[in-house]
Each structure stands twice: as C-alpha cells, then as structure tokens.
Amino acid sequence: MGFLDDFKTLIGQGGGNKEKKSNELKIVDVIAPSSIQELQGQLRVEEKFSRSFFVFSYPHYITAGWVSPVINLNVQLDISFFIHPASTEDVLKKLRKRLTEVQAEIMDNEEKGMVRNPLLETAYKDMEDLRDRLQSAQERMFYFGLYITIYGDSEKEVGETESTLRSIFEAKVIYIRPALFQQAAAFTSTSPYGIDVLQTHTPMNTEPLSSIFPFISFDLTSSDGVLYGVNKHNRSLVLFDRFSMENANAVVFGTSGAGKSYLVKLDILRSLMSGVDVIIVDPENEYKTLAESVGGSFFSISLGSSHQINPFDIPVPGEGETPSEVLRTNTINLVGLLRIMLGGLSPEEDALIDQAITETYAARDITAESDPSTWAEKVPLLSDLEQVLESMEGTRPLILRLRRFTRGTYSNFFNQHTNISVDNNLTVFGIRDLEEEMRPIGMFIIMRYIWKVVTSSMRKRLFVIDEAWIMMQNEDGASFLFGLVKRARKYWLGVTTITQDVSDFMQSNYGKPIVTNSALKILLKQSSAVIDMIQEVFNLTEEEKFILLEGEVGEGIFFAGQKHVAIKITASYTEDQIITSSPEEIEKMKRAKARF
C-alpha cells in the first residue's frame, strides 16, 4: 500500500465497519490530495513541496524557550513534540552500568599516567547527579522526539527555509537532520494525528524537557507606571511607565470603533492619578466629559468662539537655546503655517513672507539682541504682518489672500491676542465646531501654542493628538508634528499620536519616522485593506496579524521598545462610566441621571 493509501486510511476509514459500494463517493476522496510523490529527502504533494526533519543532537545545557524563534518564523511549518515516559527502574540500571564504564575508563587513564579528561569527569558528575535526583523522585526520564516539516512552492524555497532553520538551531548548538527515505513517516508524525510514526527519540530528564515549552511571552509588569490591560498570553498585568523608555511617545492605530479613544482616555485618567499633566487636541469633543469629570479645562475652538490663540506667540528660549535659534525655528514654523493658511506659496512669496515675519517681530523689538523675558508683552498680530507686507513691493496678491484672516470672516479667531491659559492638570482643545477646511490650520495653531507652553516650563506632561492624520495631510503640518515628536523627550513630554487612517498616515514622508520615534506602539483592530502594510511595518507574525483582524474591541498588540504582547484593555466600572464613547452607554447614563 502506497503513502496515499496510508493517508486515506488515517483520515477516512474510521466511520463505520460496513462495506460501501465501490462507486460511492467518500469524504476522503474529496479532501485527499490528487497525488503525493515521496522522494529521498522530501515530499511533493500536488504542486507543493515539503521536507521533514528531526532533532538528533542537543547541547549540554539548553535555555528556556529555545523553540520559540522557530515557531515565530514567518514561514509555513508544522512542529510536533512527542514525549514518552521511560521506566525509572530501567533508566537507573542503565545509568549504573554506564557509570561503572566511565569510572573504569577514568581509573585506567590515571594508571597509565594520561592527562585528565574533563569530558569524562563532567559526564561522570552529571550522571551521578541525575541518578540521585531520579532515586529521590525529583526527576523523571522521558524519550523526546521533535519533528519539523517545512513547505514551499519550489525546491529552492524549501532550501532557503531549511538554511534559516539550521542557522537558528545551530546558533544554539542544536542539530537537525532530514528524515531520508522516511519523509512519509515524518510528514505523518507532524500532521495533527498525534501519531509518532518516525520514532526517533532522545533521552531527556524533566529539567531540560521543561525548556521546550514554546510559547514565551514578554512580561511587561513593572513596579510603577500605568496599567494598560491584561497580557492575553499569560494573564499578567501590562503595567508600564512610558517615561522610563528612551522617549515617552506613543502611537495608537486602529479602525473606527476598535477602542482607540477608550484606551487613550484610560491612559489619561490613570496618568493624571500619578501626577502627569495632560493636554489634548480633540477633533470630535470626545474628551469633554472626561475633562468635566476630573475638573479639567475644555476650550472650544471655532471661528465664533470666545477662546483665541495668537499665531505669533513665541516661546521663551529654554536651557541650552539661544534667542536667535528660537526666533529662527519659530519663523520657519510660522512660514509653514501661512503656507497652509494661504493655500500654498511660490518660492518668491515664501521669501517675502519670511522677510515680513522677521520685520514684524523686529518692529515690536523681538530680536536676537532683545531680552526674551519681555517678548510675551510685545507679541504682534496677523494684522501687523499685513502692515509690513503693505510696505513691501510685489506683495499685493499675498495681502489680498491674508485679509480674510485679518479683516474677514476668520479674523475673530486668527487676529486676536491669546486669552487662554493652560494651568490645569487636564486641558482639552475641542475643534469639532471648526470648519472642515480650517481644521488643519486650527490644529497647527493649537500645537504651536502647546509647544510654547511645554518649552516655557518643565513638567511631566502628555500631549494627545487625536485623528493625527489631519496634520499629516500637508507637508508643513506633518513636518511640525515630526519635529514635536522628535524633541519631546528634551522637555519631559510624551506625545500620543492617534489615527484610524493608517494608510494616509504612513504614506506621508513623516509617518514612519514618527512611528520610529515612538517607544510605545499600540495596534488595535485593523481592516484587511491595510493589514499587509501594518504587518510589514511592524514585522508581525501571522498569528499577530490574525489578532488584529479578528480580535474583539479593546484587544490588540502592545509594543514597548523591542518587547510586545497581545493585550486586552480593561477598566473598572467607575472608569468605564467616565471614559465610555458608546452612544448606548452614554444615553443610558443620561436617563439614569434624569431619574434622580
């Protein structure tokens, strides 16, 4: 009987004892492959190639989780472990006989005056220790078989996978061998039948045998920090202090409804409890309830709002910064803002705006030579820039485009002195009521103002930017956001960037650098349209890819530096009442309040 017949016997002949008619279609005829060719060192199943191996040599010591790198390879493979208990009495007899042989060899070498053999002495000592532990029932002996089958669409692909597999094992002084002329038996042994057909074993006692447990999960539990959720692998707590990393920045990616805002609100609430100040840019006013619940400040930013921010606000030089550096950086950022406001600038207009901004500040005695402590009292307005432009040649088109911000519909917000103060532990800037075309401009102005606050006083802060893809829509906004993320650590700031439009975010020239400069990365449920890009960027395994596609709300993958775990976000009942974004839950709470 050939291997194909063996295969059919294994999977299809257990249903009943009655003979069936020869022309009756059986389930095995449907699911079995049309052809299987057994070669010397591989199998060919239809157009697919497979090659099976067994481990035949282990080092003197092996570390825990040594199989994990193979399991996490991003290739298709099957692995089987077979552990057969051995009789302790038989093992002790064999050990006694072997000990006598080794001891006799050592004594013989001594009588001949030969140099001592450390290998023999170590083997003798190890066997004595093992015999003591077996006799006291501290250890047991087993026969262990480890078989691996790899797959590929061609012999070349199988060969490349084999090379990778060998390099991983040989780095740990573990050696594998293909099951020559036994590929069918090895293939069956790695198939999900639980049948050890190959019968190639290595004796192993309990201690090294325990190291084969393959599912190793990083433990992200520290003595302090914020509780983010539960590790789905081992049910430990994901408790982490982001300020203990090389930077405190985080990115959160997920589809709409995946639980991004819920996670970030939980992070904010628990960070506030640990004495961290939080500032939020909120495109949908989702954080208003949270601000009201903890006594924070909420500023509604719109064209008709009473809250204004002056685009010309300038930070005071921090430690290690000179006035000229601050002025130069501020001017560059302000030119970028005006590019967005005016719908783009030609190279000539760009140079004119740059010169005009410098002269506008100089007219108010804000220069590299003036005292920075007096700058805040003399900050100009957008209308002052307009007056400077009027005194310059070739600026008429710029002035006409600028006037809607200085005299027109938008002047109430853009041409006013700043009248807000970020002096609360939690401050939220809501931009839901800002016109759609004004949102990138509004976010840019808010972020410039927040950067001024951050650089003016050193405090442990989080800056949360929801729907960050809005800032990534244009080059200048993306560049400013990247600069903020890159410099945040210097000012004890952690920037949390949240977005659901992963493709738009990552296609920007600054998307990947922002991710690279964020020590924490949290991936929640993803759509199938972007999962391949996410897998490539974050080097995910197929299992992790499945988690992001099929996971429930609030489940995902938590990266902290080089470590990452599957996580489930958890909150207490009281926290849930404060941070929930579910319309049903919010309506239920409103009805409950109305009854009282």
Report DSSP letters for 266-288, one per residue: HHHHHHHHTT-EEEEEETTSTTH
pLDDT of the residue at 332: 92
Residue 1 confidence (pLDDT): 44
Walk along the chain (596 residues) in steps of 10 and give the mean pLDDT of each run. 53 48 71 84 89 91 80 84 89 85 84 80 81 82 92 92 92 92 92 91 85 66 81 81 91 90 93 93 91 92 89 85 90 92 90 93 92 90 93 90 89 90 92 88 91 88 91 86 91 92 82 91 90 87 86 89 86 87 67 64
At residue 64, what is the residue type? A
Q: What is the DSSP string of 71-104?
A: HTSSS-EEEEEEEEE--HHHHHHHHHHHHHHHHH
Residue 341 Cα to chain centre, angstroms: 35
CB atoms within 10 A of CB 258: 24
Using CA atoms, how far apart are residues 260 and 252, in angstroms rounded to an integer? 7
Q: Which residues pair with 519 in a beta bridge?
A: none
Residue type at position 308:
Q
Contacts with 125 (C-beta within 8 Å, 6 or more apart), sequence order: none
205: which strand partners? 141
- Bridge partners (DSSP) listed for residue 237: 230
Distance CA 465, CA 497 (A): 5
- What is the C-alpha to C-alpha distance for residues 566 and 550, in angstroms, rounded to an integer? 13
Residue 492: other Cβ atoms inside 10 A: 16
Torsion over CA: 535, 538, 539, 540 (sign):
negative
Q: What is the pLDDT of residue 384?
A: 93
By C-alpha distance, which of 337, 335, 330, 336 is closest to 316? 330
In 3D, which of 245, 291, 253, 254 has the Cα closest to residue 269?
A: 291
Two tokens, residue 426 = 């939690």
Give the position of tokens 């001592």: 116
Please tell me the distance from the alpha carbon of residue 64 to that of residue 69, in angstroms, as a whole number.
11
Any idea which fold 311-417 has? Helicase, Ruva Protein; domain 3 (1.10.8)
CATH code, residues 246-309+423-596? 3.40.50.300
Phi, psi of 556 (to 5 degrees): -175, -150
Instruction: Evaluate whether 410 touches 438 at the Cβ level (below 8 Å).
Output: yes
Instruction: For residue 570, give both structure tokens.
Output: 């958890």
CB contact at 8 A, 229 and 490: no
Q: How confident is the model at residue 360, as a pLDDT? A: 94
Q: Is the Cβ–Cβ distance between 217 and 233 less than 8 Å?
A: yes
- CA–CA dist 179, 564 (Å, integer): 36
- Name, in order, each residue with C-beta under 8 angstroms of 527's C-beta and a sequence gap of 6 or more: 255
Q: Report, in this order, helix, strand and coil percent for the chain, each rounded to 5.
A: 45, 15, 35
How far apart (Å, rounded) are the C-alpha atoms in residues 394 and 381?
22
d(CA 256, CA 501): 9
